[in-house]
């Protein structure tokens, strides 16, 4: 069974940092592009970042460029999102998702972890 | 930046057909995926590559994409189909989601 389990969310003050992780199992993690997608409370989905299988390519939505960094450890089957200089508007549920690079669609999703940025 | 626009809401009677549109510049030149999200749950893929259904998705879900508009059609809509639906496409390697449509089965 495919599983993606996010962790690391919580309450953090504006300007601070947080690192999210996503533990993958039930599929060959190393052959998948991986993504982070977020959803602010009561709002729609927003793509945040992609990372290629070997980590050599990374892409970000403009609003997080220079503040967020996506990375992965294929030996540990784990995806990460380092979030620095957090803003109130970064408050959201953060989902990790497996990206089918053949057809470019999200094959599976985690259950999400809530990040709340507030003073 | 690239944008995808959906109607905020669509209402449909049980057994009838719901059409959800997704509009974007030259969207027909891109592949579109559709995701269903029930309240409190993670999104689920219902259509990919414009019109393909993943295994386990009922045949009543279908898709089309041409010109500037992609359409998700739910035929014979059931109460279980009540959810938010998002279209999604790629602009180079940058992901874009539609604004989302709440489908209400009356």
pLDDT digits (tens, 9 = 90+) for B9-21: 999 999 999 999 9
- The pLDDT tens digits of the residues spanning B28-50 come to 999 999 999 999 999 999 999 99
Contacts of A110 in chain B (CB under 8 A): 42
Q: Do B60 and B76 form a contact (C-beta atoms < 8 A)?
A: yes
CB–CB of B98 and A44 under 8 A? yes
**pLDDT given at position A101:** 82
Is beta strand A58-60 parallel, antiparallel or unpaired with respect to A45-51? antiparallel
Residue A103, pLDDT > 90, answer no
Q: What is the mean pLDDT of chain A?
A: 97
pLDDT above 90 for A63: yes
Work out the average pLDDT over B47-54.
97
CA triple B4-B8-B9, angle to 5 deg: 135
Q: What is the DSSP letter of A31?
A: G
- The residue-averaged pLDDT of A53-63 equals 97
User: What is residue B34's predicted lDDT score, i.e. its pLDDT?
Assistant: 98
CA R_g for chain B: 13
Contact A44 B97 (CB under 8 A): yes
pLDDT for the residue numbered A19: 98
Residue B89 burial by CB count (10 A; 0-12/13-18/19+): exposed, middle or buried?
buried
Asked whether the beta carbons of B42 and B101 are under 8 A apart, the reply is: no
Question: Which of B43, B56, B87, B98 to mutate to probe the A interface, most A CBs <10 Å?
Answer: B43
Q: Name the residue facing B97 among A45, A100, A112 (closest C-beta).
A: A45
Neighbouring CB atoms inside 10 A of B95's CB total 26
The per-residue pLDDT for range A71-85, each reduced to its tens digit, is 999 999 999 999 999
A contacts of B98 (beta carbons < 8 Å): 44
Closest approach of chain B CAs to the CA of A58, in angstroms?
A: 9
Closest residue on chain A to B99 (Cα): A44
Per-residue pLDDT, A77: 98
């Amino acid at each position: 069974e495919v599983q993606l389990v996010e962790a690391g969310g919580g309450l953090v003050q504006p300007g601070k940092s947080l690192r999210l992780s996503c533990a993958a199992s039930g599929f060959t993690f190393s052959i998948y592009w991986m993504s982070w997608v977020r959803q602010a409370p009561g709002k729609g989905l927003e793509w945040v970042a992609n990372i290629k299988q070997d980590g050599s390519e990374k892409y970000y939505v403009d609003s997080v460029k220079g503040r967020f960094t996506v990375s992965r450890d294929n030996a540990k089957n784990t995806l990460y999102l380092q979030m620095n200089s957090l803003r109130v508007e970064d408050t959201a549920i953060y989902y990790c998702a497996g990206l089918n690079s053949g057809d470019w669609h999200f094959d599976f999703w985690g259950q999400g972890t809530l990040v709340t940025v507030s003073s | 930046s690239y944008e995808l626009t959906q109607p905020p809401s669509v209402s449909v009677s049980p057994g009838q057909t719901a059409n959800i549109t997704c509009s974007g510049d030259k969207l027909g030149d891109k592949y579109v995926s559709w995701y269903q999200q029930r309240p409190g749950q993670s999104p689920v893929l219902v259509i990919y590559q414009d019109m393909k259904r993943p295994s386990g998705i009922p045949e009543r879900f279908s898709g089309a994409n041409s010109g500037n508009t992609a359409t998700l059609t739910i035929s014979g809509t059931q109460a279980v189909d009540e959810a938010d639906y998002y279209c999604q496409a790629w602009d180079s390697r940058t992901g874009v989601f539609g604004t989302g449509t709440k489908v209400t089965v009356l």
